[in-house]
Homo-oligomer: A and B are copies of this chain.
Amino acid sequence: MSSKFVSYEERAKRHPSSAARSLLETIVRKRSNLCVSVDVTAKADFLDIIDVVGPYVCLVKTHVDIIEDFDSSLIATLQELSKKHDFLIFEDRKFADIGNTVALQYSSGVHKIASWSHITNAHPVPGPSIITGLASVGKPLGRGLLLLAEMSTKGSLAKGVYTEEAVQMARAHRDFVIGFIAQRSMNAVGKSSTDTGDEDDFLVLTPGVGLDVKGDAMGQQYRTPEEVLNDGSDVIIVGRGIYGKGPTVDIQSVQVQAERYRAAGWSAYEKRLQL
């Protein structure tokens, strides 16, 4: 291959993590690197949106802790939709506590995230114990973890040395950490000059992607699919760009936007293979 970027197919063949392979294979099967972030507070809206966007996405990102009428039937339906439309589930929990606590938060409580979410994420700020705590629950289930190495918000403290140490922490836990929430490829970040080889293949999932707007009132900043793919992102995460900002959900519009973002993400991917 002459491209500086390797195809999803090739990476799916070689990736050591089963969770990462599943995601890469889904991307290829569905020609979609789109993850839809479903941030609504009513169970019916949540499931309606997922049923509509399902055919266009490789991954559905959830915040089940904001759903007012959450119950175990929501999870059962979510799992059915995941099979019906062939996507994985990513609970965007942003774990950020010590090992003992995150292990309980991941496995227990009302939400029981580890039992249904293929992928979840964590902030590296507590140090490596957050990874070992989550791995003690998630690894036996074949789950994968993303670390937040950067954030797209104004004034984020995830930068510089913080980002480098986050990547080093991931490299030391390749058996569970499959990649990052970040704005660019992290494979070369924080490597010392004595590190050899280019064996890292961390997935990069990128929030803050939009085709129409540049920012919101609460500090979120937006970039286009092409901008982030060319910087090494593998999956674009889109939320309000697809399901809108209003109190009601326009299902027809959600479908149109989901296909629009899927096409834009895939086109950006095909273009970068020519780079």
List residues of chain A with CB under 8 Å of any chain B CB.
39, 41, 63-68, 70, 92, 94, 96-101, 103-105, 108-111, 123-130, 132-133, 148, 151, 153-158, 160-162, 165-166, 169, 216, 218-220
Please indicate the chain B residues that have their CB under 8 angstroms from the CB of A92 in the complex.
Answer: 97
- Residue of B104, B110, B156, B165 touching A127 (CB-CB under 8 A): B156
Contacts A39-B101, A101-B63, A166-B157 hold; do A96 and B110 have CB atoms under 8 A apart?
A: no
- Residue of B68, B104, B219 touching A129 (CB-CB under 8 A): B219
How many angstroms between the C-alpha atoms of A96 and B121 in the bound complex? 11
| A-B contacts, 30 listed (Cβ < 8 Å) | A39-B101, A41-B108, A65-B110, A66-B104, A66-B105, A66-B108, A70-B109, A92-B97, A96-B96, A98-B151, A99-B153, A100-B218, A100-B220, A103-B218, A110-B111, A123-B123, A123-B125, A124-B157, A125-B125, A125-B158, A126-B156, A127-B151, A127-B155, A127-B219, A129-B220, A132-B218, A133-B218, A155-B169, A157-B166, A161-B161
How many angstroms between the C-alpha atoms of A116 and B65 in the bound complex? 16
Q: Are B65 and A99 touching (Cβ within 8 A)? A: no
A242 → chain B closest CB, angstroms: 15
Please indicate the chain B residues that have their CB under 8 angstroms from the CB of A39 in the complex.
Answer: 100-101, 104
Q: Are B125 and A157 touching (Cβ within 8 A)? A: yes
How many angstroms between the C-alpha atoms of A149 and B162 in the bound complex? 14
Closest to A40 in B: B104
Closest to A162 in B: B157
Please indicate the chain B residues that have their CB under 8 angstroms from the CB of A160 in the complex.
Answer: 161
A210 → chain B closest CB, angstroms: 14
Closest to A164 in B: B157
- Residue of B110, B124, B125 touching A110 (CB-CB under 8 A): B110
A40 → chain B closest CB, angstroms: 9
A-B contacts besides A98-B219, A162-B162, 17 pairs, CB < 8 Å:
A39-B104, A65-B109, A66-B101, A92-B97, A96-B123, A98-B153, A99-B218, A99-B220, A103-B218, A123-B123, A125-B151, A126-B151, A127-B157, A129-B219, A132-B218, A155-B169, A157-B165
A79 → chain B closest CB, angstroms: 19
Contacts A104-B63, A126-B156 hold; do A219 and B109 have CB atoms under 8 A apart?
A: no
